[in-house]
């Protein structure tokens, strides 16, 4: 079972919920931080013996001696990674999406395989034996989905080797990185807050993820602030509101010290156990789940 | 400066005439007014094909400029990739041109009031 914890809005508590769920999960679980632009799940799960491995994207390198300036590669490239400027073929490796088409169609074999570092993949293990997997985008790298693709490959290999459920901490937003992060999930958990901003972005997330046909549920964080529009929205869209995390100073303090919520008190532990159970039910009931 | 004198220059522009304002953007410019300095005849190159690109607008704009046969460019700012593309073909670039009409920019260029840039602006 794979659960992706997503949100439209940033800062709603995705990582808080991901870390909490991983810590009380009943079966073996793998915790994955897919927010490769600013991974932070490790701050809470604190994995040790972290192995760091750079990962690369295949990009073209020009052999000028072989190029006859036909321009076929430049015409094929949809991302302006190759440009034919008069009598010069220019390659801009950081624009390349790594499709490999240019190398395949070059009639002269003038484009060779080079590589661009996307970032690193980090693997480690928490004190409680939860394996953690993180992608970390190279500073200056503009595209996160290619690195996320490498993290997904590693995730699948790790989960297959020893049967494990997976908890994915997704990036915020609803563009390519967020879509990439949730595509493997059996259930998508949307974390929001009961404010107009929270509602606005929750609606975007719901709209973006709905075509995937996966069951979705909502966690309201900082319950007690704002208004009840998020509740109304969930009701209207038949989106199950799974649990609420109250807006409390002791919770904020615990979090600020890197604490995991189920360890704060019995109430929090019960909240996340209930959340885990409800997610499991949603996953087994499958697509088009009837909302309790 | 042994090269032949520059005959065709392009100015990033918000519209097709000398009375239109210089568009300080290069990659996302509305278009280019290309002027022949001997005849003062102008043509307009629409840059819409660059404006719609998610990435690589500067490179596309440089391609459009080369196709128009410009030997120099007057604009506000040129990014590093467009800069590399323009320099590869020897196009000279004046940056920092803004808040004036295309006609005013051409007059200043002819009066020698502009210096060519040595580097992209960002």
Examine domains A2-55+118-285 and A58-117 and report if their fold is the same.
Answer: no
Nearest by Cα to A198 from A244, A165, A263: A244
Superfamily of chain region A2-55+118-285 = P-loop containing nucleotide triphosphate hydrolases (3.40.50.300)
The ipTM, to two decimals, is 0.82
Compute the 3-state secondary structure of chain B and give helix, strand, coil in percent, each to the nearest 5.
Answer: 25, 25, 50
Nearest by Cα to A34 from A120, A106, A136: A136
Tell whether the model's pLDDT for residue B121 goes beyond 60.
yes
Q: Please name the CATH architecture into which domain B8-110 falls.
A: 2-Layer Sandwich (3.30)
What is d(CA A69, CA A76) in angstroms, rounded to the nearest whole number? 14
A58-117 classified as CATH 3.20.20.140: no
Question: Which one of A62, A80, A88, A93 would you mutate to disrupt binding with B, by most B Cβ within 10 Å of its Cβ?
Answer: A80
A148 token code pair: 């996320």
Instruction: Dump pLDDT digits (tens) for B68-108.
Output: 999 999 999 999 999 999 999 999 999 999 999 999 999 99
B75 token code pair: 């604009």
User: Chain B contact for A80, CB < 8 A?
Assistant: yes
Instruction: Dump pLDDT digits (tens) for A156-189.
Output: 999 888 889 999 999 999 999 999 999 999 999 9
Closest-approach residue (CA) in chain B for A85? B63
Q: In this structure, how many other beta carbons lie within 10 angstroms of the beta carbon of residue A238?
A: 10
A124 token code pair: 């480690």
Delimit the domains of chain A by residue range: 2-55+118-285, 58-117
Q: How far is CA A228 from CA A14, A193, A194, A195, A199, in A?
A: 20, 10, 6, 8, 10
Question: Distance (Å) from the C-alpha of residue B16 to the closest C-alpha of chain A?
Answer: 24
Instruction: Dump pLDDT digits (tens) for A45-97.
Output: 999 999 999 999 999 999 999 999 999 999 999 999 999 998 899 999 999 99
Asked if B56's CB is within 8 angstroms of A80's CB, the reply is: yes
Give the predicted TM-score (pTM) of the model.
0.82
């Amino acid at each position: 079972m794979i659960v992706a914890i997503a949100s439209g809005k940033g800062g709603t508590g995705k990582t808080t919920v991901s870390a909490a769920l991983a810590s009380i999960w009943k079966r073996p679980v793998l915790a994955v931080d897919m927010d490769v632009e600013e991974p932070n799940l490790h701050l809470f799960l604190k994995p040790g013996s972290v192995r760091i491995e750079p990962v690369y994207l295949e990009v073209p390198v020009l052999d000028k001696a072989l190029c006859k300036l036909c321009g076929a590669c430049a015409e094929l490239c949809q991302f302006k990674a190759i440009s034919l400027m008069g009598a010069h073929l220019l390659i801009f490796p950081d624009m390349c999406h790594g499709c490999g088409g240019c190398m395949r169609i070059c009639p002269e074999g003038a484009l060779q395989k080079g590589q661009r570092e996307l970032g690193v993949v980090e693997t480690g293990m928490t004190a409680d034996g939860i394996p953690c997997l993180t992608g970390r985008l190279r500073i200056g790298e503009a595209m996160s989905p290619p690195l996320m693709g490498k993290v997904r490959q590693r995730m699948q290999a790790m989960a297959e080797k020893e049967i494990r459920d997976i908890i994915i901490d997704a990036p915020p937003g609803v563009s390519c990185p967020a879509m990439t992060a949730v595509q493997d999930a059996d259930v998508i958990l949307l974390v929001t807050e009961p404010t107009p901003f929270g509602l606005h972005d929750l609606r975007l997330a719901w709209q973006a993820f709905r075509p995937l046909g996966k069951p979705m549920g909502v966690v309201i964080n900082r319950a007690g602030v704002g208004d009840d529009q998020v509740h109304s929205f969930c009701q209207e869209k038949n989106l199950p509101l799974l649990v609420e995390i109250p807006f409390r100073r002791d919770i904020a303090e615990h979090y600020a010290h890197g604490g995991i919520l189920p360890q704060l008190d019995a109430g929090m532990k019960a909240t996340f156990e209930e959340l885990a159970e409800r997610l499991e039910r949603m996953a087994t009931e499958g697509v088009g789940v009837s909302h309790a | 400066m042994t090269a032949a004198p520059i005959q065709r220059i392009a100015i990033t522009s918000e519209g097709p005439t000398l009375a239109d304002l210089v568009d300080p953007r290069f990659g996302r410019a509305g278009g280019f007014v290309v002027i022949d300095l001997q005849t003062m005849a102008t043509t307009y190159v629409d840059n819409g094909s660059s404006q719609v690109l998610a990435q690589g607008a500067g490179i596309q704009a440089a391609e459009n400029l080369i196709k128009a046969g410009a030997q120099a460019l007057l604009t506000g700012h040129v990014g590093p990739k467009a800069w590399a593309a323009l320099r590869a073909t020897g196009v000279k670039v004046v940056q920092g041109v803004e808040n004036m009409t295309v006609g005013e920019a051409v007059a200043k260029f002819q009066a020698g009031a502009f210096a060519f840039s040595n580097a992209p602006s960002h």
